[in-house]
């Protein structure tokens, strides 16, 4: 891998990480803590929405985020020819 | 069959399984002892990580914590799971690419400094030792409550089991027993939860049951009913925030960063074959952890509801509304014997009144002739331990909870002991004091270090020092303020150098320790606190447990400032950083 390709690969990785961590922040610190009180006026069945994000929703989102990250990184690895069999 | 015999059978069967696995997976090389030969498939490693991570506290105490703190306990749920996102995206794949055996080894190599490595070893041992004492206590408690043996006998039995598989098999033995232990603990946790959710809401999935209507015909949502019952009795509503927002925010952040920086978790991802596997394996780990962590809020809320309904059997204030002492269910008397529950008939009416501290309600209570809250002790652990009895589940479920609690404690203890012993034999001995020893000698040294660590942990479990209770503050605070920033900068900054990293770690560590000691006493010695540990005294309302995130920030700022003022790292280190950022082809 050339130095230029390495730099480009790293930049793409950083962009993806930042995108994922923005979502990570919004679901937990945003919906679960800072906005929880406002969201609690919305109901999800018996759950108040802010409470649901804090005790259920953020955890589900974390799981999805990690697999999304792993999937996109595999695509990136293939594109840059560093995919491990 | 009696409950005790059943418990012995179930716990004995799980122990036989662990020993069988130990004999099957002995380690022959240091590579097998430290990282299981880097051959663990990602899904199985995820399962092992689940058991490694979920401790006696997760299994026994967390649901109780949620039951009594309600919404405010969300910090633990989010904090102890959100850290895995940081691990997956910021640390695990790159450290796996580096391909060595321990966390201090990476820090020492990346910052070309024995000093940095030693600082990392000290943080690792302090954090892991604090953590492992709690596990040893957990094993002793589970034994003494369920098998009615002495606390110390239970603890020694646990030590012997860990000794067999950890000394023989190292990481290889630990990994395969952790997989078995995960299966035991998750089964033991979810079975009672499913039954209770079914009884209360008619829905077998606790995660859905918690958001459903009650099956008692009232057609009220479970959480609304719980809120109402609590408020009617002078407690704070369950779903409402009680602490300050800034403290919730920083505590969650500290727990997340700390989770990602705990060495015993990080090294689990050194055992998978490739960088790609390291990424997906963190995802699998969180799947297996989330099964318990999304069930726990339901267990907490439902157990709290059951407890309230057991005591308050009728309308608040009516003479017939409170249960008569001679009518209390048998689980109540059973658990009073252990000291986890305690009541006192303060107004001498032969009934129990259990109510909260609200001032308005105190006036009402007085008008009912109540003379104070009569449940003078309700230990939060009871919420999981007595849960099967409260829900009238069969004996085998109770036996299973005992085996599950022991599995959770053993698996976490083994992972921590491995992190401690490998940092002694690999970082201190092979890395610094005796670099010329052969692989065979190092393997022997690592077994001796493991045996020694087990003895020290066992001794401290029997004679817990003052710091043993400070797992959240000390273990997570240290990992967050020292280890996580050093690792992250080592990967994401080519400019971070030895002086910056060492000063950064010392500044993060120092500020966090001083802040903790300020409110909890120097080295946790009672009477040496500079200020009482109350919210009014905290700096900007930040509790000592929540300071790790601030310590991490101090670490980052100091390290980057010093690095930019001093010479950049040598060229080969910059190449090393470039190299770990890109996956290699094939196995390393």
Question: With an 8 Å Cβ cutoff, are B282 and A66 in contact?
Answer: yes
Q: Is B524 left (phi over 0), alpha (psi -120 to 50) or beta?
A: left
Instruction: Give the separation between CA B370 and CA B363, rounded to whole angstroms.
Output: 10
Sign of CA dihedral B335, B337, B340, B341: positive
- Neighbouring residues of B466: CB distance < 8 A, sequence distance ≥ 6: B521, B523, B524, B525, B526
Instruction: Give the separation between CA B192 and CA B369, rounded to whole angstroms.
Output: 38
Q: Which CATH architecture has domain B3-24+33-305+390-461+468-580?
A: Up-down Bundle (1.20)
- Residue closest to A64 by CA, chosen among B238, B84, B545, B170: B84
Note the residue count of chain A. Answer: 85
Rg (CA), chain A: 17
Instruction: Give the separation between CA B485 and CA B548, rounded to whole angstroms.
Output: 11
Instruction: Give the separation between CA B378 and CA B372, rounded to whole angstroms.
Output: 15
Question: With an 8 Å Cβ cutoff, are A70 and B283 in contact?
Answer: yes
**Out of B208, B239, B280, closest to residue A48 by CB:** B239
Q: Residue B471: is it exposed, middle or buried by C-beta count within 10 angstroms (0-12/13-18/19+)?
A: buried
Give the per-residue pLDDT at B47: 96
Other beta carbons within 10 Å of B357: 10
Rg (CA), chain B: 25
Give the per-residue pLDDT at B587: 40
Domain limits for position A44? 3-79
Instruction: Give the separation between CA B309 and CA A45, rounded to whole angstroms.
Output: 23
B375 three-state secondary structure: strand
* A11, B178 contact by CB (below 8 A): no
Q: Across the strands, what pairs with A47?
A: A44
Question: With an 8 Å Cβ cutoff, are A73 and B82 in contact?
Answer: no
Instruction: Give the separation between CA B375 and CA B505, rounded to whole angstroms.
Output: 46
Q: What total number of domains does chain A contain?
A: 1
Note the residue count of chain B. Answer: 588
Instruction: Give the separation between CA B234 and CA B214, rounded to whole angstroms.
Output: 22
Residues of chain B neighbouring A24 (CB-CB closer than 8 A) = 82, 85
How far are the Cα atoms of B186, B332, B384, B402, B418 from residue B47, in angstroms, in the given order? Answer: 10, 36, 22, 20, 17
- A50 lies in a domain? yes
* B388, B63 contact by CB (below 8 A): no
Instruction: Give the separation between CA B223 and CA A46, rounded to whole angstroms.
Output: 7
Q: Residue A64: is it exposed, middle or buried by C-beta count within 10 angstroms (0-12/13-18/19+)?
A: middle
Question: With an 8 Å Cβ cutoff, are A46 and B581 in contact?
Answer: no
Instruction: Give the separation between CA B333 and CA B338, rounded to whole angstroms.
Output: 9
Question: With an 8 Å Cβ cutoff, are B210 and A47 in contact?
Answer: yes
Three-state SS string over B421-463 comes to HHHHHHHHHHHHHCCCCCHHHHHHHHHHHHHHHHHHHHHHHHC
The kind and range of the H/E element at B123 are helix B114-146
Count of CB contacts below 8 A, A vs B?
136
* B264, B419 contact by CB (below 8 A): yes
Residues of chain B neighbouring A74 (CB-CB closer than 8 A) = 276
Please, what's the b/e burial string for B485-520 (b: 16 or more CB within 10 A of its CB; e: otherwise)?
bbbbbbbbbbebbbbbbbbbbbbbbebbbebbbbbb
Question: With an 8 Å Cβ cutoff, are A83 and B583 in contact?
Answer: yes
Helical pair B62-69 and B74-86, crossing angle rounded to 10 deg: 130
- A33 lies in a domain? yes
Instruction: Give the separation between CA B503 and CA B519, rounded to whole angstroms.
Output: 24
Q: What's phi and psi for A48, nearest 5 deg?
A: -80, 140
- A85 lies in a domain? no
Instruction: Give the separation between CA B21 and CA B25, rounded to whole angstroms.
Output: 6
Q: What's phi and psi for B375, nearest 5 deg?
A: -90, 85
Question: With an 8 Å Cβ cutoff, are A56 and B294 in contact?
Answer: yes
CA terminus-to-terminus distance, chain A: 17
Residues of chain A neighbouring B280 (CB-CB closer than 8 A) = 67, 70
* Distance of residue B581 Cα from the nearest chain A Cα, in angstroms: 7
Give the per-residue pLDDT at B585: 53
Which chain A residue lies closest to B583 (C-alpha atoms)?
A: A82
* B173, B21 contact by CB (below 8 A): yes
Instruction: Give the separation between CA B195 and CA B295, rounded to whole angstroms.
Output: 12
Q: Residue A5: is it exposed, middle or buried by C-beta count within 10 angstroms (0-12/13-18/19+)?
A: middle
Instruction: Give the separation between CA B186 and CA B288, rounded to whole angstroms.
Output: 9
- Neighbouring residues of B458: CB distance < 8 A, sequence distance ≥ 6: B136, B155, B156, B159
- A70 lies in a domain? yes
Residues of chain A neighbouring B90 (CB-CB closer than 8 A) = 17
Instruction: Give the separation between CA B353 and CA B492, rounded to whole angstroms.
Output: 58
CA terminus-to-terminus distance, chain B: 54
- HSE at residue B9, side-chain half, CA atoms within 13 A, is 10
Q: What is the pLDDT along chain B (588 residues), one digit of tens a residue?
A: 788 888 889 999 999 999 999 888 888 899 999 999 999 999 999 999 999 999 988 898 899 999 999 999 999 999 999 999 999 999 999 999 999 999 999 999 999 999 999 999 999 999 998 889 888 888 887 887 777 788 888 889 888 988 888 998 899 999 999 999 999 999 999 999 999 999 999 999 999 999 999 998 888 999 999 999 999 999 999 999 999 999 999 999 999 999 999 999 999 999 999 999 999 999 999 999 999 999 999 999 999 999 999 999 989 988 889 999 999 998 888 888 878 889 999 998 899 999 999 988 999 999 998 999 999 999 888 888 888 888 788 888 888 888 999 999 999 999 999 999 999 999 998 988 888 999 899 999 999 999 999 999 999 888 887 776 777 778 899 999 999 999 999 999 999 999 999 999 999 999 999 999 888 888 788 888 888 888 888 888 888 899 999 999 999 999 999 999 999 999 999 999 999 999 975 444
B274 three-state secondary structure: coil
* B130, B474 contact by CB (below 8 A): yes
Which chain A residue lies closest to B91 (C-alpha atoms)?
A: A17
Q: Write the ipTM.
A: 0.97
Question: With an 8 Å Cβ cutoff, are B88 and A59 in contact?
Answer: no
Q: Across the strands, what pairs with A48?
A: A43
Question: With an 8 Å Cβ cutoff, are A82 and B294 in contact?
Answer: no
How far are the Cα atoms of B4, B7, B147, B403, B572 from residue B10, in angstroms, in the given order? Answer: 10, 5, 11, 7, 55
Sign of CA dihedral B57, B58, B64, B69: positive
Instruction: Give the separation between CA A27 and CA A61, rounded to whole angstroms.
Output: 7
Instruction: Give the separation between CA B97 and CA B265, rounded to whole angstroms.
Output: 16
Instruction: Give the separation between CA B408 and CA B182, rounded to whole angstroms.
Output: 7
* Distance of residue B266 Cα from the nearest chain A Cα, in angstroms: 16
**DSSP secondary structure string for all residues of B505-560:** HHHHHHHHHHHHHHHH-GGG-TT--SS-SSTTTSGGG--GGGTHHHHHHHHHHHHH
Instruction: Give the separation between CA B109 and CA B288, rounded to whole angstroms.
Output: 33
Each domain of chain B, given as residue ranges in start order, spans: 3-24+33-305+390-461+468-580
Residues of chain B neighbouring A69 (CB-CB closer than 8 A) = 88-89, 279
Instruction: Give the separation between CA B98 and CA A10, rounded to whole angstroms.
Output: 16
Instruction: Give the separation between CA B78 and CA A32, rounded to whole angstroms.
Output: 9
- A84 lies in a domain? no
Question: Which of A7, A15, A23, A28 is most worth mutating to test chain B (most B CB atoms within 10 A of its CB)?
Answer: A28
């Amino acid at each position: 891998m050339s130095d230029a390709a390495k730099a480009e690969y790293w930049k793409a990785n950083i962009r993806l990480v930042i995108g994922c961590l923005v979502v990570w922040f919004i679901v937990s610190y945003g919906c679960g803590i800072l906005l929880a009180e406002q969201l609690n006026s919305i109901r999800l069945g018996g759950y108040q929405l802010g409470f649901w994000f804090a005790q259920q929703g953020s955890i589900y989102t974390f799981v999805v985020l990690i697999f999304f990250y792993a999937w996109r990184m595999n695509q990136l690895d293939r594109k840059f020819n560093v995919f491990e069999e | 069959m009696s409950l005790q015999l059943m418990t012995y059978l179930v716990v004995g069967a799980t122990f036989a399984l662990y020993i069988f696995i130990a004999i099957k997976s002995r380690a022959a090389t240091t590579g097998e002892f430290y990282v299981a030969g880097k051959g663990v498939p990602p899904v199985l490693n995820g399962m092992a990580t689940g058991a490694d991570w979920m401790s006696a506290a997760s299994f026994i105490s967390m649901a109780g914590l949620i039951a009594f703190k309600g919404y405010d306990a969300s910090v633990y749920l989010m904090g102890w799971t959100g850290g895995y996102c940081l691990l997956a995206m910021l640390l695990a794949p790159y450290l796996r690419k580096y391909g060595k055996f321990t966390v201090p080894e990476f820090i020492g190599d990346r910052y070309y400094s024995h000093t940095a490595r030693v600082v990392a070893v000290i943080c690792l041992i302090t954090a892991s030792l604090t953590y492992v004492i709690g596990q040893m206590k957990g094993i002793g408690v589970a034994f003494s409550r369920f098998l009615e043996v002495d606390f110390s006998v239970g603890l020694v039995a646990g030590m012997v089991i860990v000794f067999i598989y950890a000394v023989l098999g190292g990481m290889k033995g630990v990994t395969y027993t952790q997989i078995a232990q995960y299966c035991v603990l998750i089964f033991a946790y979810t079975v009672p939860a499913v039954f209770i959710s079914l009884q209360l809401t008619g829905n077998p999935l606790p995660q859905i049951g918690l958001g459903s209507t009650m099956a008692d015909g009232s057609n009220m949502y479970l959480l609304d009913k719980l809120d109402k019952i609590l408020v009617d009795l002078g407690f704070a509503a369950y779903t409402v925030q009680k602490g300050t927002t800034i403290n919730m925010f920083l505590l969650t952040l500290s727990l997340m960063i700390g989770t990602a920086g705990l060495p015993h978790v990080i090294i689990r991802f050194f055992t998978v074959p490739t960088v790609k596997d390291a990424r997906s394996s963190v995802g699998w780990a969180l799947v297996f952890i989330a099964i318990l962590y999304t069930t726990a809020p339901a267990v907490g809320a439902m157990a709290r509801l059951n407890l309230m309904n057991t005591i308050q059997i009728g309308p608040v204030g009516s003479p017939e509304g409170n249960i008569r002492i001679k009518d209390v269910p048998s689980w109540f008397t059973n658990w009073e014997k252990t000291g986890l529950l305690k009541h006192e008939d303060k107004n001498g009416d032969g009934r129990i009144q259990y109510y909260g501290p609200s001032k308005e309600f105190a006036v009402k209570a007085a008008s009912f002739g109540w003379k104070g809250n009569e449940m003078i002790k309700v230990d939060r652990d009871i919420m999981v331990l007595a849960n099967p009895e409260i829900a009238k589940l069969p004996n085998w479920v109770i036996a299973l909870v005992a085996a599950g609690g022991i599995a959770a404690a053993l698996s976490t203890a083994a992972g921590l002991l491995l992190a401690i012993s490998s940092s002694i034999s690999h970082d201190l001995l092979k890395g610094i004091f005796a670099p010329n020893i052969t692989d065979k000698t190092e393997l022997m040294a690592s077994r001796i270090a493991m045996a020694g660590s087990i003895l020290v942990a066992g001794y401290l479990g029997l004679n817990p020092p003052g710091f043993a209770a400070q797992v959240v503050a000390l273990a997570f605070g240290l990992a967050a303020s020292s280890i996580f920033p050093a690792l992250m900068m080592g990967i994401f900054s080519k400019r971070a150098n030895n002086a910056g990293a060492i000063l950064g770690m010392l500044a993060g560590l120092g500020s966090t320790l001083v802040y903790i000691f300020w409110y909890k006493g120097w080295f946790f010695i009672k009477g040496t606190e500079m200020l009482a540990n109350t919210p009014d005294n905290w700096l900007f309302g930040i509790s000592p447990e929540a300071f790790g995130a601030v310590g991490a920030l101090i670490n980052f700022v100091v390290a980057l400032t010093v690095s930019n003022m001093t010479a950049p790292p040598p060229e080969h280190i910059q190449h090393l950083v470039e190299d770990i950022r890109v996956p290699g082809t094939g196995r390393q």
